[in-house]
């Protein structure tokens, strides 16, 4: 990163762009490439020039030694990151404003989902996304969410931690009839309290939620001064059953990094929609944890590894002061790295000049 030769106005090294695949996250890839050790980069195949791949290691007589094969598969995973895959999670969902009510529409359905390059699973989605779209409102807003069920099973939607009227709580046979296949149901409530929240199925949940019927519900406070100021945010949704260990519906190397400028105050919103605990560990910079389940902590604390239990949300602030590509992963290591390299719950925070 210290070599400024050949950099453009954004500070990226143009000569290294050629190592990138065309990708919506080319910026992140550039940052990653720029942080790769030079010897590793020198061996990287020149993807834009066609056939010419010259890689000493792969053709050397000793290339069948097990440790070389292990190094090769580790390196390939890192070089593929961030991999482009089919299926984009967590797009912002725009409401219609109807007589002062913010009206959203969610359709439950099944689709093929590329968790990692070439690994396709069947996801059960809201609006074709896993996790589902980001519903974002302000504390005190009136919401109406019309849910259509195009699944082959009944379903219902629970608004996790929202103070809803009982009949809006989304639990079949307790607060409402199930939303049968082909039917719709309309939820209506006032957004309260503020914070990082979630919505998810509350019917056959071990299957429906882990297959993808979940999404972030962000309620911004009416008075922003009740939360710390931040420049950028990163929602991290963890899941661990039907599709393997995933961050925002993807496993490494298809997880997406967060790329920020040095000095950014980055808010991370952790959510666990899986069946297991996941201690998330950020390299390089501490996390200042200031809220649990959307509520401010009486005593914020500093952490490098934050345990996220199923159903929990945690909010942490990172002062992105340290340049580089910092790995960010679950520290139950069998969720993150094995003999073939990193997989599952691994991503990166990339801090650029
Ligand atoms: Cu984990």
Q: Is the pLDDT of residue 62 over 90?
A: no
Rounded distance from Cα 224 to ligand 1 centre (Å)? 32
pLDDT at 88: 97
pLDDT at 1: 31
Rounded distance from Cα 311 to ligand 1 centre (Å)? 14
Rounded distance from Cα 52 to ligand 1 centre (Å)? 39
Rounded distance from Cα 329 to ligand 1 centre (Å)? 8
* Average pLDDT score over residue span 84-111: 98
Rounded distance from Cα 54 to ligand 1 centre (Å)? 37
Segments making up each domain of the chain, as ranges: 14-80, 96-225, 226-352
pLDDT at 309: 98
| Residue 63 confidence class, pLDDT cut points 50, 70, 90 | low
Q: Is the pLDDT of residue 9 over 90?
A: no
Q: CA dihedral defined by 45, 47, 49, 50, rounded to 10 degrees?
A: 90
Same fold, 96-225 and 226-352: yes
Q: pLDDT, tens digit, for every residue of 179-238?
A: 999 999 999 999 999 999 999 999 999 999 999 999 999 999 999 999 999 999 999 999
CATH of the domain spanning 96-225: 2.60.40.420
Q: For the chain, how many helices (H) and strands (E)? A: 6, 22
- How remote is the C-alpha of 139 from its chain's centroid? 24
Rounded distance from Cα 249 to ligand 1 centre (Å)? 14
pLDDT at 36: 39
pLDDT at 6: 33
Q: pLDDT, tens digit, for every residue of 74-86?
A: 999 999 999 999 9
Q: Is the pLDDT of residue 104 over 90?
A: yes
Rounded distance from Cα 35 to ligand 1 centre (Å)? 26
| Residue 91 confidence class, pLDDT cut points 50, 70, 90 | very high
Query: DSSP state, 340?
Result: T
pLDDT at 64: 78
Q: Could you give the CA distance from residue 111 to residue 127 in angstroms, rounded to a whole number?
A: 10
Buried b (16+ CB within 10 A) or exposed e, 158-190: bbbbbebeeebbbebeebbebbeeeeebebebe
CATH of the domain spanning 226-352: 2.60.40.420
Rounded distance from Cα 318 to ligand 1 centre (Å)? 21
Rounded distance from Cα 307 to ligand 1 centre (Å)? 9
Q: pLDDT, tens digit, for every residue of 312-350?
A: 999 999 999 999 999 999 999 999 999 999 999 999 999
pLDDT at 59: 53
Rounded distance from Cα 236 to ligand 1 centre (Å)? 13
What does pLDDT average to over the chain? 87
Rounded distance from Cα 31 to ligand 1 centre (Å)? 26
Query: DSSP state, 171?
Result: -
* Average pLDDT score over residue span 130-154: 98
Q: Are 200 and 212 in contact (CB under 8 A)?
A: no
């Amino acid at each position: 990163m210290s070599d400024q030769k050949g950099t453009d106005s954004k500070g990226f090294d143009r000569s290294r762009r050629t190592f990138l695949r065309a990708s919506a996250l080319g910026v992140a890839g550039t940052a990653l490439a720029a942080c790769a050790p030079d010897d590793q980069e020198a061996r990287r195949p020149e993807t834009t020039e066609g056939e010419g791949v010259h890689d000493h290691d792969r053709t050397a007589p000793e290339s069948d030694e097990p440790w070389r094969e292990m190094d090769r598969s580790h390196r390939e995973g890192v070089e593929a990151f961030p991999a482009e895959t089919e299926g984009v999670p967590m797009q912002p969902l725009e409401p219609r404003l109807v007589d002062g009510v913010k009206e959203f529409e969610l359709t439950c359905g099944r689709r093929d989902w590329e968790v990692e390059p070439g690994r396709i699973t069947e996801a059960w989605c809201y609006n074709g996304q896993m996790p589902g779209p980001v519903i974002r409102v302000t504390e005190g807003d009136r919401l109406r969410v019309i849910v259509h069920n195009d699944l082959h099973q009944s379903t219902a939607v629970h608004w996790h931690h929202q103070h809803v009227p009982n009949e809006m709580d989304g639990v079949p046979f307790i607060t409402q009839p199930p939303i049968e296949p082909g039917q719709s149901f309309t939820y209506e409530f006032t957004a309260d309290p503020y914070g990082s929240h979630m919505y998810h199925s509350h019917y056959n949940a071990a299957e429906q939620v882990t297959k993808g019927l979940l999404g972030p519900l962000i309620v911004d406070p009416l008075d922003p001064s009740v939360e710390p100021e931040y420049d950028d945010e990163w929602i991290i949704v963890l899941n661990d059953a039907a599709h393997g260990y995933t961050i925002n519906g993807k496993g490494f190397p298809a997880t997406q990094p967060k790329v920020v400028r040095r000095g950014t105050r980055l808010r991370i919103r952790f959510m666990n929609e899986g069946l297991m605990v996941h201690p998330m560990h950020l390299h390089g910079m501490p996390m200042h944890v200031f809220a649990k389940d959307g509520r401010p902590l009486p005593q914020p604390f500093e952490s490098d590894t934050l345990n996220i239990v199923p159903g929990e949300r945690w909010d942490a602030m990172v002062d992105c002061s340290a340049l580089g590509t910092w790995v960010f992963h679950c520290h139950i290591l069998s969720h993150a790295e094995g003999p073939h390299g990193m997989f599952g719950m691994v991503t990166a925070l990339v801090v650029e000049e």
